[in-house]
Structure 1
Amino acid sequence: MFSRRLIPSTAALIAFEAAARLGGFRAAALELNQTQGAISRQVAQLEGQLGVVLFERVRQRVVLTPAGRFLAEQARDALGRIAQAAAQTIAFAGGGGTLDLAILPTFGARWLIPRMGGFFTRHRDISVNFSTRVRPFNLRAEGIDAAIMSVDPGSTGLICHRFFGEELVPVAAPALVARLGLHQPADLARATLLQQETRPTAWGHWFAAQGLAADPHQPVLVFEQFLLVIRAAVAGLGCALVPGILVADELADGSLCRLPGLAGQDGGGYHLVYPAEKERYAPLVAFRDWLLAEAGGNGNTSVTD
């Protein structure tokens, strides 16, 4: 529980933030359509409440003190979050809003973004702010409304829709296949393996599914993103094990070919994850319904209490 005595008025914080950002009371007064005296009084009120000097008066100028610089940064962040929260609260009533969405970079580039035109055609009043994440993270702490993840994070208070399973297929450049004679699953032991860093067991599981033992001394190149794994495979650097939906274009144009052997299952997939309290947030509802329909109604939903 916070102490109400220490919470400044919003008006005082707005006046102080504007004066700090613009470098003076006069500029802040012009921006906020107030008098310079009103800005000065609100800043003085804030200084009195906190018991610290926020501005030094130097030759008819005001200069932030160290405490003032600290508070200016914090106030700007807090006011921004309050404004964002107000906009999102209004969006619960429907009729537009903004969705902050974190996505897997390769899945976003190869599957999601090319389809987003259909979403925006239906929902012209919704904006989406995209960011990328490779590993699980704390949505609430980072202010993200929803994320597309490769695993169900299983964290408390999250809703998770698994909308795609994942089939990992072995691929390589045709020239590499010809040079190394990769005609049977066992032949891949002669090649360098390309691996995405969050899937360290994928190749081991694939070899086991073929009835083969993985060689722990086999050369492996590790990449942060599947997009880099795919580009390395096209360049002939080795054999890649990647989700089939991410290499459809390369398989179609012949820059990669499917290698012999069964597809692998590494327990992954694609999940839309969001905090339970956002379940009725209108932009998220619109995106969730569109995404699940676009994915063909696949998958299932889980809620972690």
Structure 2
Amino acid sequence: MSVPRRFLPSIASLRALEALDRLGSASAAAAELSLTQGAVSRQLQALERQLAVELVVREGKSLSLTPDATAYAEEVRYALDRIAKATLQLQSAPLAGSLNLAILPAFGMRWLMPRLPEFSRRHPDVTINMSTRLAPFNFASESFDAAIHFGNADWPGTQALLLKHEQLVPVCSADLAGRAKIEAPRDILSLPLLHIQTRPHAWSDWFARQNVPTDGNLGGTIYDQFSTISQAALHGLGVALMPDYLVEQDLATGRLVALHHASEDIGGAYYLVWPTSKSRHSGLSQFREWLAGQAQPEDPLPR
């Protein structure tokens, strides 16, 4: 897309505007930018002429921004920050480089990590930097190239690759299961329910699929991560509705017991999500292409 020149002020003028807004005085802005106050004033005048908008209130030697200019300066600050981050990323990774990836802690540890050695062997020139995020965020405000996200692929301004539908199974400790008489899904209501913060309606949806009526007010304790809720279940504190890939080993060893015959998909899946603007990112393209081969339903979890 070609942007008219009048909408692309010089970086020097924009830096002067941003510095005046942030620092509050022309002298402070001049000192930071290694300019004279006169030079700062001339940069602002040039910006006003180009935009045909009054930006600066001049009272003697004092300069301050109009309310509209203050709002504009906030947007400029964000844009300059994005330019700086993009430049730093280009300089630190001039070839295939690095991929900044946000991951969900449990899915990242149990599903993604066992698979990553293969990607590293295939693409040794791509470095993946990972940070955990429990909830969706704004790609515009955080410098991630992509994220592994749970939901319905409805993140605005993005594209997505389906990785895995979430299959849930109710589990509890062997001791709790031995003391309870669970003959049908409705019997689970007699036990303490453990809830995960990121799936507030999971139990309600699960009982609805089993045709078990509830009053919609299912009590129980709430946990913010699967790692803590699984420990609560292992120690007999109640029944947790867990993704099957997280509990298969505990079920196999008998540490946990499934209270229903099969895991079920009650909506939602894991996706690789990336901003549309990053679609041609070299490292992301290689990672996305490789990950597509790992996302088949029949793909077993590596041991």
The Cα shift of 1:50 comes to: 2.3
Query: Over residues 247-283 of structure 1, what are the superposed CA-to-partner deviations in whole Å (9 max), with x where a residue is unaligned?
Result: 3565578664333522223244322233555433112
- Separation in structure 1 between the aligned mates of residue 70 and residue 59 of structure 2, nearest angstrom: 12
Q: State whether residues 191 and 238 of structure 1, in contact with CA within 8 Å, keep that contact through their aligned partners in structure 2.
A: yes
Deviation of the 1:14 alpha carbon: 1.4
Distance in 1 (CA, whole Å) between partners of 2:271 and 2:82 is 27
What's the CA shift for 1:292?
A: 4.2
2:42 matched residue in structure 1: 41
Asked if the contact 2:173/2:236 (under 8 Å) is kept, the reply is: yes
Residue 257 of structure 1 corresponds to: 257
2:207 is the alignment partner of 1:203: yes
Tell me how far 1:245 sits from its aligned partner.
1.7
Change (3 A) 1:97 1:29: farther
Does residue 50 in structure 1 map to residue 53 in structure 2? yes
Counterpart-to-counterpart distance in 2, 1:3 and 1:224:
52
- 2:301 maps to none
Per mean C-alpha deviation after superposition, the further-off stretch among 252-261 and 75-84 is 252-261
TM-score w.r.t. length of structure 2 = 0.68
- TM-score under structure 1 normalisation? 0.68
* CA offsets 1:118-140 (integer angstroms, 9 cap, x no match): 767955764646463546x8867
Letter aligned with residue 238 of structure 1: G
Q: Which runs of 5+ in 2 are unaligned?
A: 299-303
State the one-letter code of the partner of 1:45: A
Inter-partner Cα distance in structure 1 for 2:269 and 2:16 = 49
Distance 1:287 1:36, change over 3 A: farther
Q: Which 10-residue stretch deviates more, 6-15 or 28-37?
A: 28-37
Preserved CA contact (<8 Å) 2:153 2:271:
no
Q: Unaligned regions of 5+ residues in structure 1, if any?
A: 301-305
Partners of 2:66 and 2:80 in 1: CA distance: 20
What's 1:242 paired with?
242
**In structure 2, do the counterparts of structure 1 residues 276 and 52 end up closer, same or farther at CA, with 3 Å as the change threshold?**
closer
Deviations 1:102-123 (A, max 9, x none): 4445423554468768767955
Partner of 1:215: 213
Q: Which secondary structure state, in structure 1, belongs to the residue aligned with residue 166 of structure 2?
A: coil
Mapping of residues 1-305 of structure 1, within 5 Å = 5=6, 8-29=9-30, 31-47=32-48, 49-53=52-56, 66-84=67-85, 94-99=95-100, 101-108=101-108, 110-112=110-112, 126=127, 128=129, 130=131, 132=133, 134=135, 145-153=145-153, 159-182=159-182, 187-195=187-195, 196-197=199-200, 199=202, 200-205=204-209, 208=210, 213-217=211-215, 219-221=218-220, 223=222, 227=226, 229-234=229-234, 236-248=236-248, 251=251, 256-275=256-275, 278-292=278-292, 295=294, 298-299=296-297
In structure 2, the CA distance between the partners of 1:112 and 1:67, relative to structure 1 (3 Å rule), is same
Amino acid at match of 1:108: G
